[in-house]
A = this chain, B = another copy of it.
Amino acid sequence: MLQIVENPARNLWQTLAARPALNLWSLMDTVKEIFDDVAANGDKAVIKYTEKYDNVTIPNYQASEEEINGAEALLPEQLKVDMLKASMNILKFHSLQRFETNKVETTDGVTCWQKALPIEKVGLYIPGGRAPLFSTVMMLCIPASVAGCKEIILCTPPNREGKIHPAILFAAKLSNVKKIYKAGGIQAIAAMALGTDTVPRVYKLFGPGNQYVTAAKQYASFNGVAVDMPAGPSEVLVIGDETSNPEYVAADLLAQAEHGPDSQSILVTTSKMLALKVAQAVDRQILHLSRKSIIDQALANSRIVVLKTLQQVIDFSNLYAPEHLIVEINDYELLIPRINNAASVFLGHYTPESAGDYASGANHTLPTNGNARAYSGVNYDSFVRKVTFQEITNMGIKNLGPVITTLADHEELDAHSNSVRIRIKDIY
């Protein structure tokens, strides 16, 4: 049964909000070795590591046009229709995020503005696993394509037959992404970060992955490649009170737990009764779920925390800084202004995390492990840079020039002052 902690003292909260520890630093020697090998030997190295880790030899590891175009025929009709519906929602929400330029004249004759420019080359990583994570393909390809990225590269590990699941190929094709490579793990990240004869070098890397992929992305960030965010095991924090439906809450905790043995599901509530009912409902519902053994392991890292007031509940949630926050209470609107740290928030009794995982339109690539304190989830912004433009007229530099020279002179940068004075003296 889920552990229930009642009214813990404030000084215990930090411990209750702890995640299973990750130590990526210890993986860096392995990462560096594979990066060095890919830098020196390119595709040969990538193919070698695919043999070693994915147990398959693929001399030409780019997915062919036939494979990509043939994927559609291999999928059931209902799946394709529903992938399209989900894609439309993701497209709608991310299109709304497009940036519009505003100009401002800060001083007479001095105009500044920002312009969003797409990152030209981006690399998307889709992890392997038992089932194809085509939803993550949609969550990365659609915003990249809304942003207008010119070159979108996708890497995902092949199965034992050297193939990529057709649902992944179809999801990529929906966004017109066609440069798809059968490579996974550190070697895929290295190929995209460094470039090989087959894989173009990219400027920013996206997507989830295991600890090796995460460490490889961090290493890449040392070598001039940007990354979306540090990845980690998935997590949910549910806020409940006496108005919550214990069956819904239990289902949400279980949905999170099935992601992996290191997932974490936390319920924080003012209601002891809810805590007990949810714990019972979890035990009941789990019997019907196919990933029971994974869920059991995840629930061992999970807990229910009972606190006295909703203010304490939201304080705990802000301390935890959850990837997913579900506020399953009648009065959820009252809590919205008090949410400081969370990556994606689900409001009310009918907004399960699954909706955002797949189809509501929101992105599911989100910061975990408390990184919601400083990082946004993947969104339109992740695929653009806001470039600053400024345009100064001759009268503008006459107006602003004296301010610039005073400041530059006090920073003892007289070549800076000179670049202003040399212009002002020409203006009458």
A binding-site residues for B, Cβ under 8 Å: 24-25, 78-79, 82-83, 85-86, 88-89, 92-93, 96-97, 102, 104, 106-107, 110, 112, 114, 117, 119-121, 130-135, 167, 203-204, 218, 221-222, 224-226, 230, 247-248, 251-252, 254-255, 257-259, 285, 288-291, 295, 336, 339-363, 369-377, 379, 381, 385-394, 396-397, 400, 402-404, 406-408, 410-420, 422-423
Contact = CB atoms under 8 A, between A and B. Distances in A.
Given A120-B340, A248-B423, A254-B419, 13 more contacts: A85-B107, A89-B400, A107-B359, A131-B410, A134-B410, A134-B411, A203-B374, A204-B374, A291-B412, A344-B390, A357-B404, A361-B390, A375-B385
Given A248-B422, A255-B416, A347 B397 contact: no
5 tightest Cβ-Cβ pairs between the two chains A and B: A226-B374, A131-B412, A106-B361, A251-B419, A89-B106
Given A226-B371, A359-B404, A377-B388, A354 B106 contact: no
B410 A373 contact: no
A292 B357 CA distance: 59
Contact of A119 (B85, B339, B373, B410): B373
A203 to B, nearest CB: 4
Contacts of A25: 222
A282 B257 CA distance: 65
**Which among A110, A121, A133, A226 has the highest number of chain B CB atoms within 10 Å?**
A110
B255 A379 contact: no
Contacts of A257: 415
A130 B412 contact: yes
A218 B221 CA distance: 8
Nearest to A256: B415
Contacts of A225: 374
